[in-house]
Every structure is written in structure tokens, then in C-alpha cells.
Structure 1
Amino acid sequence: MASDYRCVGCGFRVKSLFIQYSPGNIRLMKCGNCKEVADEYIECERMIIFIDLILHRPKVYRHVLYNAINPETVNIQHLLWKLVLAYLLLDSSLKIVKDRSFLLRRTDQGWSFTESSGLMSVKVLIGVLSANVAFIFSFAIAAKGLLNEVSRRREILMGILVSSYFKIFLLTMLVWEFPMSVIFIVDILVLTSNSMALKDA
């Protein structure tokens, strides 16, 4: 069975990323193709990995998509469902921020729900679900036309979901007021992040 680990430099498959001699004493393996260390992010803290994700470094995307998620210890199917749920919740927050004037009313104490909030909440949910179903349906058609391998479709879906992490910043817009241009900037960052992940998927 071929290894799912990849060299973060060239994307070549490697058997293992490190050898552990004792707890805390490891030696990083080198890639057989480019002769560089296969994955230097193993020794990095999560904050450095997150910063490199924000900076759109291709190596960190390969680390996160291929080396950080171990299929032997993580149930990929459950992880995909959790990522889909988080993705839909973040999209819902974006829709709420865009339609805040319909859902919320400004008072002296802050924001309060309007009388039609329940109906608008249902509309937000239907809008988010229909937009994402349309996106996934068009994605599935494109993937079927471009890729015949089912396993590649799962990798690409995982890449899109993981690389949409910029949507987390939309949660701050539920608490603080920002100009609507921030949504456009976050959307651009999500698209560029998705393109980086899909390039390596």
C-alpha cells in the first residue's frame, strides 16, 4: 500500500516523515526525489503553521492536507462531516452579517431581534443550504468531467473545506461592526486559499 505522506517541497510520496528514537527525540526524513527534509512543519508549533497558511505558503498546504491528518488515527468521513457543518455555520454567519438590517434592530442597548427574525432565520438557512448545494453540485459535475478517480474527489473536497479557514474571521463581524468591504476581502482570501489548496490536491 502506497504511503499518503507527501514531501512538502516537491509533493513526492514518502514512506515516513520521521524516525522517533525516544519521546521528544526524532530525526526528520529526507525526500527521495528532491533530497530535502520531507516535512519541516512537524517540528513547528501550530501558530507558525497558521501564520504560514495566512501567508499562502504552498508547503504548509501540503503539510496540512497530506501529513497532518493521519488516516490511521482520524476517521476521515467524520472529519469531512464536521468540516461541512463548520463551513455551513460560517456561511450562515456571513449571510446574517449581510442581512443584519433585516434580522436585527439597533437599540440603545445594542442589537435586538426584529419581529420577523424567525422567518428571516429560515430564509437565511434555506439560502445558505441552496447556495452550498449548488456549489457542491457544480463542483461534483466539474470533478466528474475533469477527474475520474473517486479518491481524488474526496481530496479536493477536503482541500476546499480546510482552505476556507478565512471564513472564521467573519464571526468577529457578528460582534463588532466592520465595513461591508471586509466581507469582500475575506471572500477574496478564501478564493486564493482554495486555489492554493487545489493546486496541491
Structure 2
Amino acid sequence: MKCINCGTKCNSLYRHYSKDIIQLEHCIHCKELVDKYIEFDPVIICLDALLLKREAFQHVLSNNSTQAQWKLTSILLLFDAYTKLVHQRQNGDQINRPMPDSVLYSAFEWDLYFNYFIAVIELVICICVILMVFAIASRIKPSLEKLGFNEIVRAILLSNFGKVLVIPAVFWGYNEMYVWLTAIFVCASNVQAFRVLCPSWPAIFSAVVVISSHVIASTTGSIIYNFHFAFK
């Protein structure tokens, strides 16, 4: 647990006075409330996270023990797969098939599940690249914070929440510019997550690592799809 304002480690976030009454703890370093989001509605936390507020990221990554990242990731991968499918339709990759825009129809298409597989591969590659770079950097500069495997994976999965922004593209019509803006926002969220977890690392380093991992993952996904399409 950490203070969401200064990042100082703390023993508790609040103190119980009775079953229904708690008092939020103050940070011994900055004297501010350790975590004001304890009393906030989840919707407010999500909105602050969408605004890339550092405090909201600190709350989610350091003071929240939820393991919902796997459920969230499964849903986001499905949206990612559908977005890829619609993009392929617009590029004429499926010229011999009826292509209604219905989401329900897409559930019966093999290509949706193949794109889901590609989305999973891209996510795994992204995680592996970031893990490898941070492991190498930690050996080069032992004085900097060291992140564990679970911390890095959890940070990536939770900070990918920005992919929910593709939902309008899924239901209201595909727009490539909108999808690109969503991808940029996801990269920014990933960078903010690592800035929160390891503040001593240069922000430019985190940005380069995150962007490079996404480029490598996206390129690999395109190669896999093109190879598959060439033999269809």
C-alpha cells in the first residue's frame, strides 16, 4: 500500500472505529490522505483513470487488490478482435463473404476467433518485450526500482482499460482515426502506470519501451494475419 500523493509506503489506508465507521489515514510524509479513493464510487475512479490522473493509477495499482484484470482483459481482447475484423472487411480482405455489420453475425465467423487469437498473441508479445527490457535495465542500473513479474503484468493489463474506448467504434461504425487515437491513449495509460510503479525510471524510457512493445506486437500480428490470408 502506498500514498497516492507522494508514493510513500504505508501500513494501512484507514482505521476502523466501528462496523460502519472508518477514518482515512494520513500520510506520514506529505500529511495528505493516504488514499481518498477508498470512499469514492468506482465510476469516479474510472473517470479519473481515463483522465490519466496519477492518483487514480496509484490507487488501482497499489491499493486495490482486485484480480478483475483477467476478466477485463478477456472482454477487451474480444473488442480488439472485432475491431480487427471490421478493419479487414473495409479493406476487402473478405470479398467473397456476406458482410453485415451485425455484431451477432460476427460471432458465427471463424475470422473473429482467429483475430481473437492474434489479439492474444499481440498482448503476450507486448508483455514479454516490456518484461525483457525492464529485466535488462534493472541489471544495468541496480539502484532503480525492481518490478516483479506479477506487478508488470498486472500494470499492463489494468492500464489497457483504455481499449474500452473502441466500444463506440464497435457499435456505431468503424473509424480508423478513432482506433488510432484509442491506441495512442492505451500507450499513454501504460506509460502512466509504469511512472506510478517506478517513479525513479525516466519517463522517456518508459514511453520508448511501451511504444516499442506495441509496435513490435502489432507488426507481429499483421505478419500472422497476412500469412494466414495468403493461404486462405
Task: Mark yes or no: TM-score above 0.5.
Answer: yes
1:96 Cα deviation (Å)? 2.2
Q: 2:36 aligns with which of 40, 51, 54?
A: 40
Matched residue of 2:17: which SS? strand
Gap regions ≥5 residues in structure 2:
140-144, 198-232
Gap regions ≥5 residues in structure 1:
none
User: Number of residue pairs matched?
Assistant: 186
What CA deviation, in whole Å up to 9, does each residue of 1:127-168 have, x standing for no partner?
Answer: 323323322332232132123698523212211111111111
**Is the Cα contact below 8 Å between 1:93 and 1:170 reproduced in 2?**
no
2:119 corresponding residue in structure 1: 128
What CA deviation, in whole Å up to 9, does each residue of 1:36-57 have, x standing for no partner?
Answer: 1111111111121111111111
- TM-score computed with the length of structure 1 as normaliser: 0.78
Q: Which has the higher strand share?
A: 1
Residues in 1 aligned to 2:9 and 2:189: alpha-carbon distance in whole angstroms: 23
1:68 Cα deviation (Å)? 1.9
CA-based RMSD of the aligned residues comes to 2.8
Residues in 2 aligned to 1:134 and 1:162: alpha-carbon distance in whole angstroms: 16
Matched, 1:97 2:83: no
- TM-score computed with the length of structure 2 as normaliser: 0.69
Of all paired residues, the percent bearing the same amino acid is 26
1:138-157 aligned within 5 A: 138-147=129-138, 152-157=148-153
Matched residue of 1:12: which SS? coil
Q: 1:66 aligns with which of 44, 62, 68?
A: 62
Matched, 1:51 2:40: no
Q: 1:192 aligns with which of 188, 191, 198?
A: 188
- Structure 1 residues 105 and 39: CA distance shift in structure 2, 3 A: same
- Structure 1 residues 37 and 122: CA distance shift in structure 2, 3 A: closer
Residues in 2 aligned to 1:36 and 1:24: alpha-carbon distance in whole angstroms: 23
Residues in 1 aligned to 2:27 and 2:146: alpha-carbon distance in whole angstroms: 27
